Amino acid sequence: MQLFLNFSIITFFIQLPFRILILNFFNSKKSKWFVLSDKVLFNDLKKWSKNNLKKISFYLIDSENIKNLDLQKTEGLVINELSSFKKNDLNLINQISEKGIEVIDSVNWCEINMQKLPSKLLINNQYLDKNLLSKHNGVELRIKRIGDISLALLISILSLPFVLLALILIKLEDNGPLFYQQERVGKDGKIFKITKLRTMKPNSESNGAEWSKKGDHRVTRIGQILRKTRIDEIPQLISIISGDMSLIGPRPERLFFIKILEKEIPLFSKRTLIRPGLSGWAQVNYPYGASVEDSEIKLSYDLFYIRHFSIFLDFLILFKTIKLVFNLKGSNPGEEI
């Protein structure tokens, strides 16, 4: 059983980068998985894979009928943590694995097949919860910081003509303020200010803070263009150079919304374990959302990024962000205003 465990862990880390590339750039056929667990995990897996790029079917089974099933016709078997099984079930799982059928626990399955880590799985796995940052190494973090500063300076210089034009258009439209500042929560809960080009009408928050949404009437005509092209985000490069933000990471949220979401979503505060980013894994995989449920889905992508941070993953996010900008998908409603 220990050999099976070690092999599964090694296989997981070898497979992950290739699975990420395949699922992001190639269409995959529908897959079928058996689930050896209780109904809770079974229903959770169906819920979590609902918006996945790859169509996935799940079939709940138990240790009594598993012997009568042809597992060769499936992708494999998804199970709970091994510690939740009795000895006889563990022997059965080991026999299935020895036949060359993929046996994978729910955490690794979600990470490999959906590239996200639902917070609910962390609650039930104290080791994983305590070791979210275990794969972060000093060399990659230093490379990331150097890359942040270099790219932020380069983008600042290249985008200067567009920013100047945007400032003129903002002023001409309603003669209001050019910039918009707002407090956000950064790494380890540090409060800092971000600066953006103003895209909303003056005094748009006179009735209190609220999530932005598609077709928001508060957004100006120029603001709509700036959001689609993300030109309004460019002043945040100042926060990247100063070290409050990174180019890639979980989007910094407002304290007002964090207090609400922490009551509704387990482990929402884990997002602040690393520097927030101008773009992130959640933004390129789940661009739109304006509800608590959407925020929970975004958190699962953020937790995946935190656990699997790498320069490779940052480059992939950067590539997908550029693709979104050129497709004019723009800023994410429901995230901030």
Distance of CA 171 to the CA centre of its chain: 35
Q: Mind listing the pLDDT tens digit for each residue in 278-306? A: 999 999 998 766 788 889 999 999 999 99
Domains of the chain, each with CATH number or no CATH: 2-115 (3.40.50), 138-326 (no CATH)
How far apart CA 102 and CA 90 sit, in angstroms, is 15
The C-alpha angle with vertex 59 and arms to 103 and 305, in degrees rounded to 5, equals: 55
Residue 41, both tokens: 């995990």
213 — pLDDT class (breaks 50, 70, 90): low
Q: If pLDDT is split at 50, 70 and 90, which confidence band does 61 have?
A: confident
Question: Which residues lie closer than 8 Å to 200 by C-beta, 6 or more apart?
Answer: 180, 216, 218, 219, 220, 223, 337
User: Residue 6: is its pLDDT beyond 70?
Assistant: no
User: Which pLDDT belongs to residue 281?
Assistant: 96
**Percent share of the chain, pLDDT over 70:** 82
- 253: alpha, beta or left, given left = phi > 0 and alpha = psi -120 to 50? beta
**Which of 73-77, 78-82, 110-114, 251-255 has maximum average pLDDT?**
251-255
Q: Which residues pair with residue 185 across a beta bridge?
A: 191, 253
pTM, full prediction = 0.84
Q: What Rg do the C-alpha atoms of the chain give, in angstroms?
A: 22
